[in-house]
Structure 1
Amino acid sequence: MTDTLAENGEARIIAAILAGQKDLFHDLIRPYERHVYVMTFAILKNEADAEEVTQEAFLKAWRALASFRAEARFSTWLVSIALNEARGRLRRKNQAPTDSIDETHEDGTPHVSPALLRDWREIPSEMLERAEVRSLLRAAIDNLPLIYREIFLLRDLEELSVNECAATLGISVSAAKVRLHRARLLLQKDLAPQLKHLNPKRRWFPWS
């Protein structure tokens, strides 16, 4: 119900903007400003680039607002624009990650055994409040190959549905599910030894 009310409210704001009340555009994007910046920063790993890309995404959304057809949520449409802008910036700066991976699947994605690994969100919530764990999690996200970092950010930061993630990334739903699963496994693999070092007495994972 809340989502529906929010979407109806956004639809009215968009209609008003297109009718000439241009000053309402900031009200429209305000709820998403931080999320868009955090996502672009996580992809670009540079504050100045993230700020520029975020502003470019909002400007592009402003210019293209009349083309928004409400087939997806406005937030999904906005995130898609920001993601494309961030990808473009990476291409122009030749900063796309080129991770060297010894074990890979036939499609070139890294192989991670799912045995005994559990969803990253099962890390005890009280520990996530600790600065050390938040810092480790940010670093682990930064270390993800781009295709996994994107899906993780869209699903677990932006909280898009898997279908919305797939549409935003231009991939199939099944591919989105596979990427998300592998992203979480890679995070677990990266975080496990560090979390054990942080608190060796805590049973962080089923195999410990």
Structure 2
Amino acid sequence: MPAARRMKGELSEADLLDALRRGDRQAFAAAIDRCGDTIYHVAYRLLGSREEAEDILQETFLQAFQHLKDFRGEARLCTWLYRIAYNLALMRLRRKEPETISIDQPILLENDEEVPRELFDWCCLPEEELLRAELRSVLDEAIRSLPTSLRIVFLLRDVEGLSTEEVAQILGISTDAVKTRLHRARMQLRERLSQYFAGELAGR
């Protein structure tokens, strides 16, 4: 077993952080092994480019190395790294184009209450329908269509499985804001998939 993988499994968070501060190369490899997949996946989903996702992964660990002395361990190491990666990806997005509003974004009343839309009930369709490559493509496109503020919450919470509290730390927002954005993201995705399934059944 490679040394980095042994270190990944054996070292506690505190021990790994101590090793990183000593400049231990195996510790950096272990940190990449421990946190790198999520950084890459989220960056790829945000930017839509494998090359840019690789750049974000490298830039994240470069910045972490440069600012390791400033990390006080108040959050998990991976949480800190995810926050760096998110900020780097967000800067790239802002350079590309301004934030746009999705045409599927829920209509809000003056009191911020969402206007519910009539959704097709697709929960009980045969399992084979849910496994089709076409559906995966539709879901991927639906995720890409989400506004960035909703997409990042959905990716971190539902795709990567981070806790609400950890997502809030990464994004620098409250847990209530995370829950609100996650709800809106799920509703928009549900609507997109509802439209897909309604069209599928109508065409039969």
* Counterpart residue number, 1:61: 64
Cα deviations across residues 91-124 of structure 1 (Å, max 9, x unaligned)?
A: 22235334356863268x8945177789x99988
Secondary structure class of the residue paired with 1:20: coil
**Partners of 1:114 and 1:185 within 8 A in 2:** no
Q: Does 1:113 align with 2:135?
A: no
The RMSD of aligned alpha carbons is 3.4
Contact 2:164 2:175 (8 Å CA) reproduced: yes
Aligned to 2:73: 70
Q: What is the one-letter code of the residue matched to 1:36?
A: I
Q: What amino acid is aligned across from residue 159 of structure 1 in structure 2?
A: G
Instruction: Report the Cα distance in structure 2 between the residues aligned to 1:34 and 1:94, rounded to whole angstroms.
Output: 26
| Kept after mapping to 2: 8 A contact 1:53/1:85 | yes
CA distance in 2, matches of 1:160, 1:189: 24
Residue 84 of structure 1 deviates from its aligned partner by 0.5
Identity over aligned pairs, percent: 39
Question: For residues 121 and 17 of structure 1, what CA distance do their matches in structure 2 show?
Answer: 47
Task: Indicate how the Cα distance of structure 1 residues 103 and 74 shifts in structure 2: closer, same or farther if over 3 A, else same.
Answer: closer
**Residue among 23, 26, 32 paired with 2:26:** 23
Residues 28-60 of structure 1, C-alpha deviations (whole Å, 9 max, x = no match):
121322221111111112233222122211211
**TM-score normalised by L of structure 1:** 0.77
Deviation string, structure 1 residues 154-187 (Cα, Å, up to 9, x no partner): 1112222112222222222212111110110000
What is the one-letter code of the residue matched to 2:163?
S
Which runs of 5 or more residues in structure 2 are unaligned?
1-7
**Which stretch of the first structure deviates more once superposed, 124-133 or 33-42?**
124-133
2:132 paired residue number = 130
Mapped pair 1:192 → 2:186: no
Code of the aligned partner of 2:169: A
Aligned to 1:83: 86
Point out where structure 1 has 5 or more consecutive residues left out of the alignment.
201-208
